[in-house]
Amino acid sequence: MIEKWLRNEIDKKICNSNRIVILDQSSRWKFLVDAACTDICLYSTKDYSSKWQQKQYELFLRHEIEKNHKNDQVVIYVSRELAADSFLIEYAKTGGCIELATEWVRDVLLKETSLQVSLTDDELYTACQLGIFKDINWWKKVVQKIEGLLSIENDILDFFDNPNGFLESKTPAVKNLYIQEFCKLLQQPVQDKPADTFASEIARHIFTGILEGNISEKEYVIYCKWIDSRNHESSFKKYLGEYQLPITIDIDKVKDNHCFDVVDKKYLTKLVENINNASEVKNILDKIKKRLKFKKSNPYIAKWWQDITDIMDFTVVCNDASIDGISRYYTVEFSKTDRSMRRILTYLKADINIVKPIQEYYERMNQDLLKSWFAHYGEYQESQKGYLVNLIKNISKKIAIIVGDGVRYEVADSVASRVASDISVDKKRGFHLKQNII
């Protein structure tokens, strides 16, 4: 906002004669002028030690302005005291003059926020360097000291993307502030280091905090923003790839929102080893369910976790023992476990020691269902004869038919579920050998 407030004052005064002088005797405020004058003609004057050279330069500069920008609005930035006989003094008198200093900043903050500024001159100057493009709420918090001048949670992802470029773009005062915050986050004494070193150490510190479950709230905010950011995905992958996991990991301490496939596989191994221990399975599934709550924002959660929890946590009972009831139970409820098992075989087929116990667990449930199903073997009656013929004869619109012949219902249902949402899908469950028509 500070750059907008300066621009508002420029626009208000420049309308008098299309010329305005911005006086900066400390030569410190050029960054603010540049930010405010992005779409207006700006001349930054040069300084000469010789008085006659200075007057000559100003005379030529004025001639250039009047020749090339006769009808344009022009801002002239002067980084020294303006002499009474300067050829630019007329611009300051007739057009207007803004004298940039901390007092100007205090006055504009009082006007715009209705708050007295108790910051020191150095703090206020640093705030202006950081406050370019910040909104008025940020300024109010800074002026009232509700918030510090620097909040690295908002900027550190840009720093991870390009550590050297990020710090090189900052003024010395702002750069020192960032270094102080970096050292504070790392719990180290304030010390200067190469930007790349800071970035690597901070990333390693964050990943270790996730792994050991002792990450601070501020660090966890940074981690969550980082892992959920498409724009900063490459830097996350880079530092994660460089991170060396310890030989031993206490997986029960790891944060649920972690990014380590090794931890997921260790939990999966633990689940398989205890697959017949209902209490231990429940504890593991409770942990995994908490992890799955982050699946929208965390792309590092193993895809197979949802399918494994669906199978291991399946408890829906068929309360209708009739053939129609069992059929309905299968298509509505149990077929989901078929789909989950098929996916698990796709994801983990190379690891037979993991897949086999889960498949055996699934098969036990499946066998129980089949016993009930085949108990009605003599009751099966064909219910699809003539169905397709009548359907095709009596429909006036275009139609596509998916026939699941020799495959489980879930496969046909999976294909049907991928049909575009604006197309009507009618599912018919019937008996004819092992066919499913959708």
Q: Distance between CA 99 and CA 21 in Å, rounded?
A: 8
Q: Are residues 414 and 302 part of one domain?
A: no
- Dihedral pair phi/psi, residue 22, rounded to 5°: -110, 115
- Residue 307 belongs to some domain of the structure: yes
Q: Are residues 368 and 267 part of one domain?
A: yes
Q: Are residues 329 and 260 part of one domain?
A: yes
Q: Are residues 410 and 310 part of one domain?
A: no
Predicted TM-score (pTM) of this structure: 0.71
- Residue 47 belongs to some domain of the structure: yes
Where do runs of H (alpha helix) occur along 163-251? 163-168, 172-186, 195-212, 217-227, 233-242
Q: By residue range, what is the domain housing residue 331?
A: 256-380
pLDDT digit string (tens) for the chain, length 438 residues: 888 888 888 888 888 788 788 888 888 888 888 888 788 888 787 877 777 887 787 788 778 877 888 888 888 888 887 777 677 777 777 778 888 888 888 888 888 888 788 878 888 888 888 778 878 887 788 788 776 777 788 789 999 999 999 998 888 878 888 898 899 999 999 998 999 999 999 999 999 999 999 999 999 999 999 999 999 999 999 999 999 999 999 999 999 999 999 999 999 999 999 998 989 999 999 999 999 999 999 999 999 999 999 998 887 777 777 777 777 777 777 778 888 888 898 888 878 888 899 988 888 888 877 777 777 666 666 666 667 777 777 777 777 777 766 556 677 677 666 666 666 666 655 544 333 434
Q: Distance between CA 414 and CA 425 in Å, rounded?
A: 12
- Residue 237 belongs to some domain of the structure: no
Q: Are residues 260 and 376 part of one domain?
A: yes
Q: Are residues 260 and 374 part of one domain?
A: yes
- Residue 412 belongs to some domain of the structure: yes
Q: Are residues 284 and 368 part of one domain?
A: yes
Cα–Cα distances in angstroms (integers) from residue 366 to residues 310, 314, 373, 393, 399, in the given order: 14, 12, 10, 38, 34
Is 311 within 8 Å of 354 (Cβ atoms)?
A: no
- Tokens read off for 382: 């064909």
- Residue 289 belongs to some domain of the structure: yes
Cα 23 versus chain centre, distance: 42
Q: Distance between CA 241 and CA 247 in Å, rounded?
A: 16
Cα 229 versus chain centre, distance: 3
Name the DSSP class of 419.
S
Which of 100, 131, 147 represents a domain boundary (last residue)? 100
Q: Are residues 366 and 429 part of one domain?
A: no
Q: At what angle do helices 136-143 and 102-113 cross, to 10 degrees?
A: 110
Which of 298, 153, 160 is CA-nearest to residue 227?
A: 298
Which of 61, 78, 100 represents a domain boundary (last residue)? 100
- The single residue listed with the structure tokens 């604006």 is 422
Q: Are residues 429 and 313 part of one domain?
A: no
* Count of CB atoms situated within 10 Å of the CB of 4: 15
- Residue 11 belongs to some domain of the structure: yes
- Tokens read off for 405: 């012949």
* Count of CB atoms situated within 10 Å of the CB of 239: 17
Q: Distance between CA 85 and CA 90 in Å, rounded?
A: 9
- Exposed, middle or buried: residue 211 (CB in 10 Å: 0-12, 13-18, 19+)? buried
Q: Distance between CA 423 and CA 418 in Å, rounded?
A: 10
206 by DSSP, 3-state: which?
helix
Q: Are residues 336 and 403 part of one domain?
A: no
Which of 43, 39, 72 is CA-nearest to residue 57?
A: 43
Dihedral sign of CA atoms 375, 380, 383, 385 in order: positive
Q: Are residues 334 and 289 part of one domain?
A: yes
* Count of CB atoms situated within 10 Å of the CB of 88: 22
- Residue 281 belongs to some domain of the structure: yes
For residue 355, which amino acid is it? V
Q: How many domains does the chain have?
A: 3
Which of 100, 116, 150 represents a domain boundary (last residue)? 100
Q: Are residues 348 and 289 part of one domain?
A: yes
